[in-house]
């Protein structure tokens, strides 16, 4: 994809091919026009098409080309912040709504995979949030306390119990969340596209939207090859927004995130590294994540871009990190590497926008795109179908505002991740 093996790496090599789509040519009339063929856009399209509502999806490049096809592939419940933060930041009404909406959000993903038989390497074994050091362990215990108070099936693992699940003994505590799982993200989003097409949606790829105008209560979305006219417009391009409503991009700080993957491990090694198939991530300020895929490759990810000096720095860090996690790993052969960007808001919460009548947009997934994105798409479909109103949605509607010092912060995070991944001085 994009003629760049570092754009989607392993996921593009192992995902089923995308469904057949075409560029938009001429004029098309639909009930709803959706910009962006990622988790939210295609979930919206699928749930609308299931209701018999006419949908046209416009994707600039290819299904899953943005964040959806580049992620670590962990299907987590909730958002990045702890449950208490939702109440503190959003207040009792919206804090409760989004918490209830997302507390079991992986189940929505699993149900779609089951219903449509999507081949996407789904593992329902949970994920493990690993606490680094004393501070990280305290965070894990607090997260567990809050989720357990809400009845969530989460458990704190320590010592031998944690080492048995992960294969490493460097973390003092970890939170096993049995609601969660792992997935091949590009395979999943392509499967969503196929399901939406089967349900009756139209998906046009290679069709970037250059301009959106409104005439007589109808939205006109113009691409180089044609125009879609629709009563509703849904914008779901997030951190990969370029032309249309650039505020969706500029209200976020884009943090680069990379992954490397080894060659398939031997059966003996596979039995010692995440043997049950959980994905894992830690509490470090420069987060580290690790998981395996269906073929037994070890995948490690962290903040940083594989370009310029970052390519060598991050690749070397990944090797050191793998050896630190799993000293018995032996010779490490890296077969794949790729990177993208995560859109971060100042409070790590997504933003809901309604910039005009019958137009809806959401941005700022903060590294939690798979389950929330799928659920948000379902809720957008309910809104468009008239089953809920804007006032009943899961977030308050706010205006899009550019993040202060955004460019400076983005440069800082890319350089800072390299500094954090340099080898120790001693």
Q: Look up residue 203 and give its two tokens.
A: 């998906």
Q: What is the C-alpha to C-alpha distance for residues 135 and 119, in angstroms, rounded to an integer?
A: 39
pLDDT in tens, the chain (426 residues): 888 999 999 999 999 999 999 999 999 999 999 999 999 999 999 999 999 999 999 999 999 999 999 999 999 999 999 999 999 999 999 999 999 999 999 999 999 999 999 999 999 999 999 999 999 999 999 999 999 999 999 999 999 999 999 999 999 999 999 999 999 999 999 999 999 999 999 999 999 999 999 999 999 999 999 999 999 999 999 989 888 888 899 999 999 999 999 999 999 999 999 999 999 999 999 999 999 999 999 999 999 999 999 999 999 999 999 999 999 998 999 999 999 999 999 999 999 999 999 999 999 999 999 999 999 999 999 999 999 999 999 999 999 999 999 999 999 999 999 999 999 865
Q: Are 42 and 329 in contact (CB under 8 A)?
A: no
Q: In sequence order, which ranges of 57-184 are alpha helices (DSSP H)?
A: 83-102, 106-116, 133-149, 159-166
Q: What is the C-alpha to C-alpha distance for residues 407 and 401, in angstroms, rounded to an integer?
A: 14
Q: What is the C-alpha to C-alpha distance for residues 208 and 244, in angstroms, rounded to an integer?
A: 9
Q: Look up residue 146 and give its two tokens.
A: 């809050």
Q: Are 390 and 354 in contact (CB under 8 A)?
A: yes
- Three-state secondary-structure class, residue 227: strand
- The CATH code of the domain at 5-71+186-252+346-406 is 3.50.50.60
Q: Are 277 and 126 in contact (CB under 8 A)?
A: no
C-alpha dihedral, 169 to 304 to 338 to 325, nearest 10°: -10
Q: Which residue in the block uniquely carries the two structure tokens 């943090």?
A: 255
Q: Is the dihedral of CA 44, 47, 53, 55 positive or negative?
A: positive
Q: Look up residue 222 and give its two tokens.
A: 């113009």
Q: What is the C-alpha to C-alpha distance for residues 134 and 272, in angstroms, rounded to an integer?
A: 25
């Amino acid at each position: 994809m994009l003629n760049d093996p570092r754009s989607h790496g392993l996921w593009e090599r192992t995902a089923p091919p995308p469904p057949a789509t075409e560029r938009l040519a001429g004029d098309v009339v639909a009930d709803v026009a959706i910009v962006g063929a990622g988790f939210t856009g295609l979930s919206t399209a699928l749930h609308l098409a299931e209701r018999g509502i006419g949908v046209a999806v416009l994707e600039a490049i290819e299904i899953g080309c943005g964040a959806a096809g580049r992620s670590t592939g962990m299907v987590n419940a909730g958002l990045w912040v702890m449950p208490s933060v939702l109440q503190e930041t959003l207040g009792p009404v919206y804090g409760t709504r989004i918490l209830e909406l997302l507390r079991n959000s992986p189940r929505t993903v699993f149900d779609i995979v089951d219903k449509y038989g999507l081949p996407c390497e789904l593992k329902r074994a949970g994920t493990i949030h690993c606490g680094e050091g004393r501070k990280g362990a305290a965070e894990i215990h607090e997260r567990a306390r809050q989720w357990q108070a809400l009845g969530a099936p989460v458990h704190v693992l320590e010592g031998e119990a944690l080492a048995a699940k992960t294969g490493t003994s460097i973390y003092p505590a970890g939170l096993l969340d049995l609601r969660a799982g792992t997935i091949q993200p590009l395979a999943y989003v392509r499967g969503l596209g196929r399901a939406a097409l089967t349900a009756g949606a139209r998906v046009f790829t290679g069709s970037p939207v250059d301009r959106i105008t409104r005439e007589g209560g109808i939205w006109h979305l113009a691409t180089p090859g044609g125009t879609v006219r629709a009563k509703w417009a849904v914008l779901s391009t997030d951190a990969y927004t370029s032309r249309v409503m650039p505020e969706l991009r500029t209200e976020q700080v884009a943090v680069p995130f990379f992954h490397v993957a080894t060659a398939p491990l031997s059966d003996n090694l596979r039995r010692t590294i995440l043997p049950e198939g959980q994905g894992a991530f830690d509490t470090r300020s420069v987060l580290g994540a690790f998981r395996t895929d269906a073929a037994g490759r070890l995948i490690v990810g962290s903040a940083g871009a594989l370009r310029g000096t970052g390519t060598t720095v991050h690749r070397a860090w990944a090797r050191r990190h793998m050896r630190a996690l799993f000293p018995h790993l032996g010779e490490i052969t890296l077969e794949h590497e790729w990177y993208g960007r995560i859109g971060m808001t100042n409070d790590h919460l997504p933003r809901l926008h309604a910039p005009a009548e019958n137009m809806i947009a959401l941005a700022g997934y903060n590294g939690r795109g798979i389950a929330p994105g799928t659920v948000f798409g379902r809720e957008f479909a309910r809104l468009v179908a008239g089953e809920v109103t804007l006032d009943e949605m899961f977030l308050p509607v706010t205006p899009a505002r550019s993040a202060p010092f955004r460019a400076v912060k983005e440069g800082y995070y890319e350089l800072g991740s390299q500094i954090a991944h340099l080898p120790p001085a001693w």
